[in-house]
Amino acid sequence: MYALAFGIGTRNRKDEWLEVYFPRPVFRPEQTLVNEIAEVTGYAGGNTDIDLDQATVAQLSDKISDAGQKSLLTMITGSTKPLVLTILETDSELQTTPETYLKLHLLSHRFVVPNEQNLEGIYPLLPNVAWTEQGAVDLDELEELQIAARLEGRVLEVQAVDKFPKMTNYVVPSGARIAHAGRVRLGAYVGEGTTVMHEGFINFNAGALGPNMVEGRISQGVTVGGGSDLGGSASTAGTLSGGGNIVITIGQDCLISANAGTGIPLGDRCTIEAGLYITPGTVVQILDEERNALRLVKARELAGMSDLLFIRNSQNGVVECRTNRKAIELNATLHRHN
């Protein structure tokens, strides 16, 4: 069994799911819990969503022995909001909106890291909605609520119109600071000890493993290792860019300086100087420890290597790759003369 969770959601007037909040998802649940749920709901296997009425919630609350889930069921007893039990027997392609929200929760709860689970089919299953102080609103139903609010002498605050909500309305990870919550989407992974500053951004299925300082942008599919720093306006090419074939990872103890960026994976202890963006096709002059020119390569040939310092020569504008002098070990690539 992959995961299961009890959720509180929002439907539109067509009875379609707009979003689901899963406060206590269970990753790799014990078989005892699965059996107790099956005894009440008739669950017989597979990935499924089970709508819950109050009678079923009460029965589950009596039956389930897991203390955390039992107390959650007690709290949602009497709810007027739609309730759902989503069960994922396998990590397979997404089929429903509640399944999609559950997998995004698993990422933000740190049960899985980016690119570790199957998110195929995600976009059609996430409706584009208005995110307001009253929650998710179907765009076709928004005007009526706006007019009603105006007639009451107030304004309905629409914070965003998007498929993804902000993470902190669903998950607040422990040991992290997030200065501007609207810049971190549900499905982001924010590791212990990480600070996301006001201009930092983390997309879904992306994240910083912690501890990290994030003042730049971590694009979809990108994972940043612990101890690495993305400076102000630094950026990373996501898997949605350029055809989505290259997964960008940044290793541990790296520095992507202000206004810099990378379109290639980096190993550990790498530095890119301020204002320099490295793409796979960037022509790079490799230098040895004494700054002697060795050869020219495309940056893609250095992908994933450690202990590299990328810097632009201020005299001739050539992008150079030098040994990162802060590194403990030197990368053998820098010492080849052929």
The DSSP call for residue 2 is -
Contact 57, 83 (CB under 8 A): yes
* 7 burial via Cβ count (<10 Å: 0-12, 13-18, 19+): buried
Paired strand residues for 258: none
DSSP 38: H
Q: 5 and 102 in contact (C-beta within 8 Å)?
A: yes
Which residues are registered as beta bridge partners of 283? 298
Q: Which of 215, 290, 301, 320 is labelled catalytic?
A: 215
Rounded CA-CA distance 222/250 in Å is 8
d(CA 293, CA 158): 56
Single-letter amino acid code for the residue at 116:
E
CA distance 63 to 84: 17
Our answer to whether residue 120 is catalytic in this structure is: no
Q: Nearest 5°: phi and psi at 329?
A: -120, 150
**First-to-last CA distance in the chain?**
52
* Residues labelled catalytic: 215
